[in-house]
Amino acid sequence: MWKGIFPAGLLSLGLASQTSATLLYVSSYAGTVTTLRLTLPDDGSATGAAVTTLENISNSTGCGPNPSWLSLDYSKNFLFCLDEGFNGPYGGVTTFYTGDDGTLDTLDKLDVIQGPVSIAEFGVGGSGLAIAHYSGSSVSVVGFNAEGNLTLLHNETYALEGPGPNPERQEAPHPHEALLDPTASYVLVPDLGADLVRIYQADASTLGLTPIAPLTVRPGSGPRHGAFKVTSDKTYFYLVSELGNTITGYEVTYNENKTLSFDELFYIPTHGEERKLPEKTGAAEILVSPDGNFLIVSSRWEDSFNISNFDPTNSTEIPSDPLITYSIDHATGELTKVQEFAAGGRVPRHFSINADGNLVAVALQGDGRVVILDRDVKTGLFKDYIAYADIEGEVTAAIFREDYHTI
């Protein structure tokens, strides 16, 4: 079922004399941020067992004991890392300088409220980080300067009057993501514990966040992450909910009074149709492809696939959770399912797509593995696994850096 995969650090035979290399940064709850180098043929294709390698070239423990999220600022060569801070009393934000050789040099580190799990960079020229704190029930803003120095500017902590419909998971507010809208004027924060998407007007000059009316979602659904799609005349917002295992589609209206309105278009299971899922199944990541034609979501704790072992000497199959791909109707915002594909292992907590849309890096928290998938940009279909790397601990994020070349 798969081809062209080499363990991290193992060079393939017959490597093309001229190649292009992409770096990936990978975070793990083991306390590491790892740099991987993915080497592809010089034509940019992702096929051929003799031309694709994935190599571990650098490791850093500078983020803290529980790295949970990575965000790359290309223009400044900054990598921001969040430390969730399981043992408290604080979490952390770290700025790394990203060297062309894959090394990460720590520039600054700042203690913040416990539980940071997601970053939205905003502000004039990119100078602020809006951060969602899951266990800290908070949203904060951290500013940074040209040297990468960090300053806490604002924090707001929330409380509930009582537990939500899922009292085990909704005993408190749990902001799970911070994302910037397509106009860079608003920050949206899905709150799994409160069944809200909190919305803020974002001041690019002062880095202030002004709360406006939130988006209220179905009780007990537990909103986790969201993604936008912009057409020539419409803006769509897609919300994946972890507890309900659902996708909700909205058409977004930008009002004259600087508020947002959301017209619900549909509410569907993450798989597109009703099916019985294991009790603890939880939807995770949601992204729109770079060309805007497809939506991809990941689902965890299903073990719905069995795939060939990545170790060719081991005949035992690997259980895998799915990535689910939908095509997007630009006129209506509606979704049509086109594929379910094995993510390459258990618990695909996070995945990212390269700029060309033909490669997807999957962070498999349950297996301590990063897998690179080959994707057909035109059809949206995943085709094969082309590389993988084993990473110590629970992998929490894997992101691309694509401005790196070698001969």
Rounded Cα distance, 367 and 320, in Å: 10
**Side-chain-side CA neighbours of residue 101 (13 Å):** 3
pLDDT, tens only, 247-263: 999 999 999 999 999 99
- The amino acid that residue 206 corresponds to is T
pLDDT, tens only, 145-198: 999 999 999 999 999 999 999 999 999 999 999 999 999 999 999 999 999 999
pLDDT, tens only, 67-107: 999 999 999 999 999 999 999 999 999 999 999 999 999 99
- Domain limits, the chain: 19-406
pLDDT category, 20, cuts 50, 70, 90? low
pLDDT category, 345, cuts 50, 70, 90? very high
Nearest to 210 by CA among 299, 303, 95, 130: 130
Contact 38, 22 (CB under 8 A): yes
Please give the backbone phi and psi of residue 264, each rounded to the nearest 5 degrees, phi first.
-70, 130
DSSP string, 96-131: EEE-TTS-EEEEEEEEEES-EEEEEEETTTT-EEEE
DSSP code, position 74:
G
Q: Is 184 helix (H, G, I), strand (E, B) or coil?
A: coil
| Degrees to nearest 5, angle at CA 121 with 116 and 125 | 150
pTM for the model stands at 0.94
- The residue-averaged pLDDT of 304-327 equals 96
Contact 338, 319 (CB under 8 A): no
- The amino acid that residue 303 corresponds to is D
Percentage, residues of the chain above pLDDT 90: 89
The alpha carbon of 221 is separated from its chain's Cα centroid by a whole number of angstroms, namely: 20
Which ranges of 138-226 does DSSP label H, i.e. alpha helix? Answer: none
Evaluate if residue 324 carries a pLDDT over 90. yes
Q: Which of 31-45, 64-78, 294-308 has the lowest mean pLDDT?
A: 31-45
For tokens 């992450």, what's the residue?
225
- Structural tokens at position 402: 């694509």
So what's the pLDDT on residue 52?
72
- Structural tokens at position 256: 């004259």
CATH number of 19-406: 2.130.10.10
pLDDT category, 407, cuts 50, 70, 90? very low
